[in-house]
Amino acid sequence: MLKIGFAQCIPDYTLSQALSICSRASSLGCDILLFPEMWNIGYEIGDENPQLWLDRAVSIDSPYVSAFQEEAEKLGLAIVVTLLEKTEKGARNTAVLIDRHGTLVQVYAKVHTCDFSSEACLIPGSGFETSILDTAQGPVKTGLMICFDREFPESARILMLQGAELIFVPNACPMEINRLSQLRARAFENMTAIATCNYPSGKDECNGKSSLFDGIAYDESGSRDMCAFLAPEGEGLFAAQLDLEALRAYRKSEVHGNCYRKPERYSLLTAPAVEAPFIRADRRK
């Protein structure tokens, strides 16, 4: 059983707070700790002054990231930490996967930036990749998406095609029934577990409800609820367990995933044209 921690907390923008959350997650026996989106600046929803964001960006080799690496090694805890990342070409909405040895395993920049908002000033990521995460429960094939990425089925599908068993989704938005249904659908159609961490109520428009969908839609008794965990709306550090062996057994026998796809029929999915009624003036070219 893999134990996943969800830091559904309002940031005070100090490393001491973040490292304290890591320590508490370790004391709960968590193998992995997931933070909400853009933790270092708290993702101010609706803030239309991009410069307020850009001035607070930090680089991957900054003390901010290295402090999490040191804490991960000290605690034996894998961490998905998020940040507004400073690069030579501009800023990115980034998630960093650090393993329990303090090694930086993957740096992922949000592909589907919300270009109808302040995120139009950010550089989108270049694609989706998976990594092998070493945990105390053994190696796990993981992938990363960030918030709006979840609304495009291609994001999770590409990660599934690369073998992802568990997808981490840092988040910062209201998790109402439709967005939760998106996560359920991504888990169902890809037979992939999806762990999402959101900010709690009291932080802009967010409402908590961090979740774990375990990707197992059916068992010997028939249809089952894939929602293995759903947090309340309030602030807190939560933990949930994922039965990896059950998921792996399910993936070997069920019909979803990759076996029965017909990709030769999907060429239109990569066509760049946007037609009415979906034309928007602020679409990034």
- At position 257, the amino acid (one-letter code) is G
Asked if 128 and 155 touch (Cβ cutoff 8 Å), the reply is yes
Copy the structure tokens of residue 91: 């800023």
Using CA atoms, how far apart are residues 172 and 225, in angstroms rounded to an integer?
Answer: 24
3-state secondary structure of 258: coil
Burial 166-177 (b: 16+ CB within 10 A, else e): bbbbbbbbbbee
Asked if 98 and 105 touch (Cβ cutoff 8 Å), the reply is yes
The closest of 206, 232, 197 to 30, measured between CA atoms, is: 197
Residues belonging to the active site: 37, 110, 147
| DSSP type of residue 190 | H
Asked if 206 and 174 touch (Cβ cutoff 8 Å), the reply is yes
Using CA atoms, how far apart are residues 81 and 100, in angstroms rounded to an integer?
Answer: 13
